[in-house]
Amino acid sequence: MSDLLSQSTQDYLKQIYGLSTNGKPASTTDLASGLGIAPASVTGMIQRLSKVKPPLVYYHKHQGVTLTLRRPLSS
């Protein structure tokens, strides 16, 4: 599957995984810091990753992001 994902997408997914291993969603601020990019850029990419079919992440504004392998965030 990694052949199908861009390096950037893989980097995001790895960061999300690393930041959410404690069972809590990863914040966009922490992702931005870990990836060395602006929080607005992170939000845009996270929104795209949550809208692909099948979605790669669950994202709820102000609640953070988790991988779809984990339980979705409650609304």
Q: What is the pLDDT of residues 10-23, one digit of tens each?
A: 999 999 999 998 88
Q: What's the pTM?
A: 0.84
Residue 64, classed as helix, strand or coil, is: strand
- Whether the predicted pLDDT of 3 surpasses 80: no
pLDDT recorded at residue 4: 78
- Residue 70, pLDDT score: 55
| Least confident stretch, 24-28, 37-41, 67-71 | 67-71
- 36-62 as b/e: b if 16+ CB within 10 A: eeeeeebbebbeebeeeeeebbbbeee
Residues 33-61 pLDDT 10s: 999 999 999 999 999 999 999 899 999 99
